[in-house]
Amino acid sequence: MKQVRKTYCISHGKDVDGIASASIVKLANGAKTYLVNYDKIIQILEKIPDNAELYVCDLGMNDGIAESFIEECSRITKKGKVTYIDHHILKPSVKRKLLKAKVKLVHSRKECAGVLTYEHLKKQVPKEASILACYAAITDYLDNQKIAKKLISNYDRQLLLLESTMLAYALAYDGAKPQFGNKIVDAFQDLCFPHEIKDVSVLANKQAERMKNIMKTINSDAKSYKNFACMESTNPTIGLVANMIIGELDVPVAFAYRHNPIGHYEMSFRARYDSKAELGKIVAKITPELGGMGGGHNKACGARIPDDKLKKFIKLFSAELNK
C-alpha cells in the first residue's frame, strides 16, 4: 500500500513575514506548521518524516546551521520533497549544496518571504490570501518592491498599515510565543483580519505603551559611536528598539542587545533607509570570530554572541562599518 505523503512547514515564528508565509503554505495544502527561531530549526527538521513534502520559509542559512540543514534535507529528498523559500543572504556555496541535495529553491533578495510564498503557491490559494503577503511586505519594510507594490495596490493602504502594524506589535509584546503564532496561522485560514483575532488589539496597545516608555530612556541610556549607536534593553523586541535609536539620536545605524541568562547577548541591527551599510554581511563576518552567529539583510539583521565578547564585538563592528 502506497504511503500518503504528508505536508509540513517550518517557518520563522518571531515576525509577521514568517507567520504569513506559514499561513499561506497551510492554506495551499493543509500543512502541519512549526513556528521556530533559528536555534530550533535542526531540532524540528529531524522530526520530519523521510517521505514528507516540506516547506521551509523565512529562515536564512547561517554558517551555524547550514551543514546540518543540508544533511537533513538530503535525507528527506530521497523519498520526499523540500522547498526552501527565503529572502536572506544565501552564500553561493550553500546554494550549490542545496541544489545538489535536490531542494527546490524559491529565493530572492528583492521581495519578502511572504510575497515569495504567495507567488509560488497563488494558484493553490484564494486570491484574497494576497493580503497576508501584503502584511509581510509592510512589516519587513519591503513594500516598495515590484511584486509587493502591485499586491498592495489592490487594497486600501491605510487599512493594510493599521492591520499589519497591529499584528507586528501584538507579536512583539507576546514575545512571538509559538502558541500565539499558531493561533494567528489558524485564524488566517479563514482570512480573518488581525483586528478580529482575539487578543491582537489588546497586546498591540500594550506594546505601543511599552515603546512609548522606551523612547524616554534612549537619550540617557544609548551609547554613541562613529556612525552608529547601541543600547542594552530588557525589551523582547530589540529590533523595534534599534529603529527607535535611529530616530531619537539621528544616526544611520543602530543596534540593541538583550542579555540572555544562559550566557549570551541577543542583538538586533537596523539601518536608516538611505544608509549604504551592508549590516547582514558585516555581522555574518565578525560573529563567528567571537564564537557567535548572525546575519540577515543590509538594513536589518540579527546576531548572538557570548556575553563576554560585547566590547570586542563593538570594536570589530565599528571597524567594518567605517571602512
Provide the strand spans (E) within the chain. Answer: 7-12, 32-36, 53-57, 81-86, 104-107, 223-225, 228-232, 253-260, 264-271, 293-296, 300-306
What is residue 262's predicted lDDT score, i.e. its pLDDT?
87
**pLDDT attached to residue 2:** 52
Neighbouring residues of 13: CB distance < 8 A, sequence distance ≥ 6:
19, 35, 36, 37, 176, 178, 181
Residue 310 phi/psi, 5-degree rounding, is -60, -50
Same fold, 7-203 and 216-321: no
Cα dihedral sign for 116, 292, 214, 178?
positive
Regions of the chain short of the pLDDT cut 50: 1
* CATH classification number, 7-203, choose in 3.30.70, 1.10.1760, 3.30.2030, 3.90.1640: 3.90.1640
| CATH architecture observed for domain 216-321 | Roll (3.10)
Cell of 150: 502591485
The strand pairing partners of 171, in sequence order, are none
3-state secondary structure (DSSP) of residue 201: helix
Q: What is the pLDDT of residue 204?
A: 95
What pLDDT, on the 0 to 100 scale, is given for residue 3? 59
With the CA atoms of 85, 91, 94 and 100 taken in that order, what torsion angle do they form, in degrees rounded to the nearest 10?
Answer: 80
State the pLDDT at residue 1: 45
With a CB cutoff of 8 Å and minimum separation 6, the contacts of 207 are 169, 170, 172, 173, 237
In the chain, where the domains are located? 7-203, 216-321
pTM above 0.85, yes or no: yes
Q: Would you state the cell numbers that stand for residue 288, as one nine-digit string?
A: 563567528
User: Cell digits for 45?
Assistant: 527538521
List, in order, residues 6 or more apart from 43 with CB less than 8 Å away.
none
> Given this model, what pLDDT does residue 65 score?
86
